[in-house]
Structure 1
């Protein structure tokens, strides 16, 4: 309850600050590239070093742990093996968890994508009463620890028939991750003037038609990117799943955690490496830029 009060206060403050903005007509000119001059090489080196440290080094650590015969042995050719990767890909519990996680992640991505797109468009492009409050309410779960959301759904589940089912985990995912899509949709819409909708209205389109044809289409790529982030986040999620776990609803995050708790560190590292590589590939594919024509 204390966390909820603090979160609501922060969201109200954000809404009050947001009302002080003014909308300016966007320029159609391409952005100008900032020339760094002599600082270009140094800046590039520092940025690349930081990126490699926070991304590549953890992946290399997982790779080494997954290939070593046992934790702590020297890193030499004689101690390298693929046995842990084979075990990770043949353990039925982990495979069932991966299947459940992919199913729940895809469903969560679709539901959160649709909800986030609708909430983002309504909260930024309409003058409906309470539209800003709607956006704030959608963002509220981001301020709440996942364990609190899981406990709340455990209380609700017996009353709505979801207790001990995989759908309870899906409901918690939607609660926690819809804000990711709302954030992705709000950013481009809030920075784009409403002149396009006004032009559509002048051309004879109704309010709903202009909203769908202009705002929704502009925000659709952002909603798709947000849905991909939801899917990648849900596949590796642990905090919600470990509390809402039920027979037949094992998730990949819980399986990896179980390997770690059982002392199978190399197998846990192997699955963690697989999840990381697949997640990077999916995000890279979803955020790639189209080829110039």
Structure 2
């Protein structure tokens, strides 16, 4: 009788490995990074470099001195966390706060659970939430953007995000039309291109979409989470806009402002912390979309 020895999974091997997938996500974030550099100049470079370097260093130190196992900082996962963390903070954030965010993201949200593949939450998102709770003033002080090749400099005086302007105007009794026609609100074309206040990765919906198309092309992500996330968020916004257009803005505004596009394509699709089955992905995406809009429309934090 022949005996077969079955090795541990996985039993089906493809051409893609973790390293290729992770670096593919890094490449997909380059368009958004370039847009942030265009509007915020060296501050964008500073924040991103410090965030990435801090994430790599924290992961290396933990693997070298605590886990005492294989050093895996070249797999690209820590680089992704570093860039995503940078994308979730303002361009004028102090260096030491960025380092704190990296320590929380990598040290607590990732490595304390055993490293890549074992973390229950997106490390960059955990880092952002921690910084928002611990340093709310610094995390909501947005510098006004400027074109890199203009005569301007990054404005030390903070400017509100479009969602912040909308919420403040509604609080003061203004209608949506009055707010949109005010001098404070950027034009739609500016919001789509990234010429508005916000975190580094919230600048351009177009740049994020280019990165998403690349990930679809490379089969790094599937349609389930992005479509269900965007669909539920826009449907939610559409319902309230049709019911009361005086106090609720149209879905296009929500699409091009804040971190919706970043969350849809780069945060929610994290393969470690998101569901694995198609049905689970769709349910998860719908939940993310509804939760985002609930916070935007009724919560205290306008960015959702």
User: Which bracket does the TM-score occupy, shorter chain normalised?
Assistant: under 0.3
TM value normalised by structure 2: 0.27
* Richer in helix (by share): 1
TM value normalised by structure 1: 0.28
Structure showing greater Rg? 1
